């Protein structure tokens, strides 16, 4: 990204907002300069990987435990993505790694602080418009900067990165100059530039959202973030396979549920997702699922119907989920929610408040709400407030905290097994 007048104004705006918010944190370094590159570490299906995006055509130099090694090109440049995506497998037990001399954040053997963020892009779609140039309207750059200062051991993005689908209307200053379409410029503006400090702070797990289906942001997803190898034919895979990340208890199992129909139970899909949701049964020890669409969550009631729950996944989970699944991390609903149920079912967390327009009618407390046959025992949300959440390992429990964009804690909950209690 070049240092244009726009960039300077944008950085000034970020600085001013942080001061106004009373934040005492230091600012993140500026986005990568022209000719520079983005880099990060992610858990992929085949293990830990470093990735880099470069405009130079050649992958940057890397080193593992001080020994020089070569990154390989995952995806070559083309018209829409004039960048090379590079990758490097990081072996288990590696003590250090670097790209072009810049140290990479490797995971501890047992992550104790997991930061969750989701639904982060700036919406430009038809009449649904955010002011991408205004931190008040689209705060993801601030969310990412503040989240990075909490020094997480791991970041989980629960999906929906790409939102700039249509052009900013002429004369609308709030989004003037924004790119649009599933191309590198949009992905850089929606995710890689604003996420910079957080991308460097810890390794990531990327969950696919419905904005990353092949019909929407699938090109960018497949090239840059997909945890699976880049397909030989370069085509976007409509369905990603599950993969697991060992967190030293629990195991995080990542599923792609992006196509699951929300409002009507699609029986053919339900049969497929029933098999996917049984994945955890073969894994010893406790499991958390991470997938984009929550099953039994709701942002409002329309008539007698709950809105926000997923009727297809509910059909798939009708006979329950494997007994070792304790929690589900999702996004999709633009709110923070924590819920556990009267029935023996995993706790559900929703962290979809990272940047896109919030869902305004989510109830703060929804104990007793019946969602598609399941009764909420404890249900809390903090919508409509932008932010992110942390999951911190405690003694026999996880402390879950929802933060606003200033890094101020809004709600604390305790996850014990499948049960949630909020303060």
Residues lying near Fe ion in the complex (CB under 5 A) are found at 160, 209-210, 332
Question: Measured from the CB atom, is 160 or 188 closer to Fe ion?
Answer: 160
Least gap, CB of 358 to Fe ion (angstroms): 13
Least gap, CB of 359 to Fe ion (angstroms): 11
Looking at beta carbons, which residue is closest to Fe ion? 332
Angle at 144 between CA 296 and CA 28, to 5 degrees: 170
Least gap, CB of 264 to Fe ion (angstroms): 17
Question: Measured from the CB atom, is 160 or 377 closer to Fe ion?
Answer: 160
- Provide φ and ψ at 147, rounded to 5°: -60, -40
Q: Would you say how long the chain is, in residues?
A: 423
Contact 418, 171 (CB under 8 A): no
Q: What is the DSSP-derived secondary structure letter of residue 104? A: P
| Closest by CA position to 220, among listed 80, 45, 18 | 80
Contact 212, 158 (CB under 8 A): no
Question: Measured from the CB atom, is 357 or 375 closer to Fe ion?
Answer: 357
Least gap, CB of 35 to Fe ion (angstroms): 34
Burial of 302 (0-12, 13-18, 19+ CB in 10 A): exposed
Locate 363 and state its tokens. 């109830």
| Closest by CA position to 227, among listed 266, 250, 256 | 256
Least gap, CB of 123 to Fe ion (angstroms): 11
Least gap, CB of 332 to Fe ion (angstroms): 4
Question: Measured from the CB atom, is 351 or 422 closer to Fe ion?
Answer: 351
Least gap, CB of 209 to Fe ion (angstroms): 5
Question: Measured from the CB atom, is 111 or 217 closer to Fe ion?
Answer: 217
Q: Is the dihedral of CA 379, 212, 118, 283 positive or negative?
A: positive
Contact 122, 190 (CB under 8 A): yes
Locate 153 and state its tokens. 């051991």
Locate 268 and state its tokens. 């053919």
Question: Measured from the CB atom, is 213 or 278 closer to Fe ion?
Answer: 213
Question: Measured from the CB atom, is 209 or 294 closer to Fe ion?
Answer: 209
């Amino acid at each position: 990204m070049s240092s244009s007048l726009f960039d300077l104004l944008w950085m000034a705006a970020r600085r001013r907002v942080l001061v106004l918010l009373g934040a005492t944190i230091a600012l993140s370094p500026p986005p990568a300069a022209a000719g520079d590159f983005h880099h990060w570490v992610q858990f992929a299906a085949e293990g830990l990987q470093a990735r880099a995006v470069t405009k130079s055509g050649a992958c940057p130099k890397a080193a593992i435990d001080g020994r020089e090694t070569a990154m390989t090109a995952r995806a070559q440049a083309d018209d829409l993505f004039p960048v090379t995506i590079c990758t490097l497998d990081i072996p288990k037990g590696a003590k250090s790694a670097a790209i072009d001399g810049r140290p990479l954040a490797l995971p501890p053997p047992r992550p104790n602080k997991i930061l969750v963020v989701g639904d982060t892009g700036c919406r430009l779609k038809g009449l649904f418009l955010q002011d991408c140039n205004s931190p008040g309207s689209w705060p993801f750059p601030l969310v990412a900067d503040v989240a990075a200062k909490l020094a997480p051991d791991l970041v989980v993005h629960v999906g929906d990165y790409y939102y700039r689908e249509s052009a900013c209307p002429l004369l609308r200053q709030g989004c003037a100059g924004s790119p649009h379409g599933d191309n590198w410029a949009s992905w850089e503006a929606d995710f890689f530039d604003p996420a910079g400090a957080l991308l460097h702070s810890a390794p990531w797990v990327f969950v696919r959202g419905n904005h990353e289906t092949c019909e929407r942001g699938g090109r960018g997803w497949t090239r840059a973030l997909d945890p699976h190898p880049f397909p030989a034919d370069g085509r976007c895979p409509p369905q990603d396979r599950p993969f697991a990340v060992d967190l030293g208890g629990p195991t995080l199992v990542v599923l792609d549920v992006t196509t699951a129909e929300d409002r009507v139970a699609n029986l053919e899909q339900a049969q497929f997702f029933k098999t996917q949701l049984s994945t955890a049964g073969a894994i010893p020890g406790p499991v958390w699922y991470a997938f984009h669409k929550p099953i039994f969550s709701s942002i409002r009631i329309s008539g007698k119907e709950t809105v926000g729950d997923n009727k297809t996944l509910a059909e798939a989970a009708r006979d329950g989920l494997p007994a070792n699944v304790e929690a589900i991390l999702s996004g999709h609903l633009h709110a923070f929610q924590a819920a556990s149920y009267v029935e023996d079912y995993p706790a559900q967390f929703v962290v979809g408040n990272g940047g896109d327009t919030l869902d305004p009618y989510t109830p703060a407390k929804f104990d007793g709400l019946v969602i598609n046959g399941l009764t909420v025992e404890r249900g809390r949300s903090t919508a409509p407030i932008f932010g992110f959440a942390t999951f911190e390992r405690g003694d026999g429990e996880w402390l879950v905290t929802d933060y606003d964009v200033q890094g101020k804690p809004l709600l604390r909950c305790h996850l014990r097994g499948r049960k949630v209690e909020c303060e």
